Structure 1
Amino acid sequence: MIHPSLRKKQRVLFILLLALISVTALISLGLGAAGLSYDRLIPVFLGEGTFKEEFVLFSIRLPRLIITILAGMALALSGAILQGITRNDLADPGIIGINSGAGVAIAAFFLFIPIEPGSFVYMIPLVAFLGALLTACFIYIFAYSKNTGLQPVNLVLVGIGFSSALSGAMIVLISSAEREKVDFIVQWLAGNIWGADWPFIWALLPWLVTLIPFTLYKASRLNLLGLNESVAIGVGVAIEKERIILLLTAIALAASAVSVTGGISFIGLMAPHIAKALVGPRNQLFIPLAILIGGWLLLFADTIGRNLVEPNGIPAGIMVALIGAPYFLYLLLKKI
């Protein structure tokens, strides 16, 4: 039973985070090299802008903003699931190799498989999912022990090893590719928001619309998986089955996000931790907040990064890493 005061606190924080995202989004829409000032935003939204203003807002800034928020939400939720099923606060789809698996699959697909531009947008999340799924299967096989089953610590350690190996595989792919295609892969590796167009939103949105409610439905199972295994088994949880289902959910969320934003790490690490610090470790309470925090973190990083250095800015992945890497070290030192 969740105390009513915690529920009330969660609702208040949820509204405040929505307001924070809205304010940051408004600031983001008004910033950029192209001429679109803040006092023109509302007239342009109402259809009273010039062709240039409408193009800048509806074809460049708004789709990028929506993609960034959605991807941040997906990465945050993926991280929350991974931390729950591994019982490890350092788990993150970027750290344990899932993002790297998706990246290698995208790179190989982009380099070697010819496909029509219209189909490319919708194929990329599926290709990323298959690459991440294959990587997760190998991680699971190598982390599994006949005597002790799947140990969460082993899963994380093996995942970090696979992440390093896949980074090497990506370098091999780059070395054999054409210059134009290498530029795309390098942007992906840096975490550049490259899929900033409306078709990419329609490609990403169904994954979140399906998997966010499913994860919230499974929140009580995540709570039980965070307990001692004997306790979870005692209350009737099929541990291996639930772990696999939730692991697939985390993989799908991470793969769909990085397919349009590139290799972004640490969102899935930081957002759940911040949410837990606000309302506690119950998944029903902190997951909705973590989703919003993840969306805001990536939006904030992208807004700062693209306006910090002219003309191309700093990729959002690098901005997030500048914050996330010290945070990861802080958490690591706390656990030692």
Structure 2
Amino acid sequence: MIVQATKNKTRLAFIIVIAMIVTTALISLSTGSSSINITRLVPTLMGNGTFQDEFVFYSLRLPRIIITFLCGVALATSGAILQGITKNDLADPGIVGINSGAGVAVTLFFLFIPANAETFAYLLPLAAFGGAMLTALTIYAFSYNKEQGLMPTQFILTGVGFSLALSGLMIVLISSSDRQQVEFIATWLAGGVWGTDWPFILALLPWLVILLPIVLYFAKHLNILRLGSPVATGTGVHVKRTRIVLLTMATALAASAVSVSGGIAFIGLMAPHLARAIVGNKHQRMLPFAMLIGGMLLLIADTIGRNIVPPAGIPAGIIAACIGAPYFLYLLSRK
């Protein structure tokens, strides 16, 4: 009886989240300086739209919606992993410095490494992953104790320190750059979704297709890790190795996302919390919901940002921060 009620609740929540994603996507398509009348969506999808409708739909709106949703999925999954391996509900790739590490690598790549337009979109996630992974491993090393293992509070505090330092380094790097380069890095720092063309989708998609199934496979390991290292060791889990593998996947997901979405924080913080409130702590159920909620939250933030101050709009990262920062302070006060 209780199991069936839980299944019904989960099914209803899934339907509601999907409906909200579809609704947000339709609003995003039909609003903004370049938009499609909602009554023209179906004819355009069927190939009977005007040239302007098809251009707006296939070249402007649809790729932006897809890339925003995928980045939200990646950031939410990364946040859920970090919260699981650190046993700290305040963990988020933007807060603990992983996004900033990716940002420094993106800045160096953009300023100093020549790349043609055809390969730029595909090399950018690799550069971001290199910087993010180096940062994540350094933070892990500073937060690891041979006797106690990974210390969650020190991991968060060290990450915050690295985040501030690396953000300052990015500003130093662009201080002597030309105007166009400064504008690009400034957009990245603000969390403006800039990689909105189809090549960026093709560059990001393989990371998610490969990593998300592996993360779901490790869901049971995340359940065990949250019980503590002694319990995990007693069940046969190699704690240190499992944490490194999961940290690598969290870093790769966050880096691939922020390489095209900019420095967006708090999505990875909020989405897992909302998912737990809906379906509980079991990662087999929580992770898929966190992915959907993360995509939805970033899509909502981008839609609001594009329309609140037309035509330039406000970067999605700022909208997400306006929502996520008070929530972070609320969690901090509770912890």
State the TM bucket, normalised to the shorter chain: over 0.9
Q: Is the 8 A contact 1:78 1:92 kept in 2?
A: yes
The answer to whether the aligner puts 1:89 opposite 2:119 as a matched pair is no
CA distance in 1, matches of 2:22, 2:217: 27
CA distance in 1, matches of 2:48, 2:93: 43
Deviation at 1:35, TM superposition (A): 5.0
CA distance in 2, matches of 1:119, 1:187: 21
1:136 equivalent in structure 2: 136
**Counterpart amino acid of 1:298?**
L
1:279 equivalent in structure 2: 279
Deviation at 1:26, TM superposition (A): 0.9
After superposition, the C-alpha distances for 1:67-88 in whole angstroms (9 at most, x for unaligned) are: 0100001000000000000000
1:251 equivalent in structure 2: 251
1:105 equivalent in structure 2: 105
**Counterpart amino acid of 2:150?**
L
Deviation at 1:19, TM superposition (A): 1.4
Per mean C-alpha deviation after superposition, the further-off stretch among 209-218 and 98-107 is 209-218
Q: Which runs of 5+ in 2 are unaligned?
A: none
The answer to whether the aligner puts 1:164 opposite 2:164 as a matched pair is yes
CA distance in 2, matches of 1:162, 1:35: 40
Secondary structure of the residue aligned to 2:89 is coil
2:223 equivalent in structure 1: 223
CA distance in 2, matches of 1:140, 1:288: 26
Deviation at 1:149, TM superposition (A): 2.6
Q: Percent identity?
A: 62
Secondary structure of the residue aligned to 1:270 is helix
The answer to whether the aligner puts 1:290 opposite 2:290 as a matched pair is yes
Deviation at 1:228, TM superposition (A): 2.0
**Counterpart amino acid of 1:163?**
S
Q: Is the 8 A contact 1:191 1:262 kept in 2?
A: yes
Q: Give the length in aligned residue pairs.
A: 334
* Alpha-carbon spacing, 1:35–1:163, altered in 2? closer, same or farther (3 Å): closer
1:301 equivalent in structure 2: 301
| TM-score normalised according to structure 1 size | 0.97
After superposition, the C-alpha distances for 1:157-213 in whole angstroms (9 at most, x for unaligned) are: 111111111011111111121111010000000000100011111111111111111
RMSD: 1.2
CA distance in 2, matches of 1:35, 1:189: 27
Q: Is the 8 A contact 1:7 1:285 kept in 2?
A: no
**Counterpart amino acid of 1:169?**
L
Q: Is the 8 A contact 2:191 2:316 kept in 1?
A: yes
After superposition, the C-alpha distances for 1:30-56 in whole angstroms (9 at most, x for unaligned) are: 111125211111111111112111111
Secondary structure of the residue aligned to 2:260 is helix
Q: Is the 8 A contact 1:10 1:289 kept in 2?
A: no
Q: Is the 8 A contact 2:266 2:324 kept in 1?
A: yes
CA distance in 1, matches of 2:57, 2:35: 10
1:155 equivalent in structure 2: 155
The answer to whether the aligner puts 1:46 opposite 2:46 as a matched pair is yes
Deviation at 1:4, TM superposition (A): 4.3
Structure 1 runs (4+) deviating above 6 angstroms are: none
Q: Is the 8 A contact 1:71 1:295 kept in 2?
A: yes
Deviation at 1:214, TM superposition (A): 0.9
Q: Is the 8 A contact 1:83 1:90 kept in 2?
A: yes
Per mean C-alpha deviation after superposition, the further-off stretch among 137-146 and 251-260 is 137-146
2:262 equivalent in structure 1: 262
CA distance in 1, matches of 2:33, 2:147: 60
Deviation at 1:6, TM superposition (A): 2.5
Deviation at 1:5, TM superposition (A): 3.3
* Alpha-carbon spacing, 1:69–1:35, altered in 2? closer, same or farther (3 Å): closer
CA distance in 2, matches of 1:155, 1:308: 36
Q: Is the 8 A contact 2:29 2:35 kept in 1?
A: no
1:177 equivalent in structure 2: 177
Secondary structure of the residue aligned to 2:327 is helix
| TM-score normalised according to structure 2 size | 0.97
**Counterpart amino acid of 1:36?**
I
CA distance in 1, matches of 2:35, 2:142: 54
**Counterpart amino acid of 2:239?**
I
Deviation at 1:7, TM superposition (A): 3.3
Deviation at 1:8, TM superposition (A): 3.4
CA distance in 2, matches of 1:242, 1:129: 19
CA distance in 1, matches of 2:7, 2:219: 15
* Alpha-carbon spacing, 1:4–1:218, altered in 2? closer, same or farther (3 Å): farther
After superposition, the C-alpha distances for 1:116-166 in whole angstroms (9 at most, x for unaligned) are: 111000001111101100111211221122332322222111111111110
Q: Is the 8 A contact 1:223 1:283 kept in 2?
A: yes
Q: Is the 8 A contact 2:86 2:150 kept in 1?
A: no
Per mean C-alpha deviation after superposition, the further-off stretch among 321-330 and 282-291 is 282-291
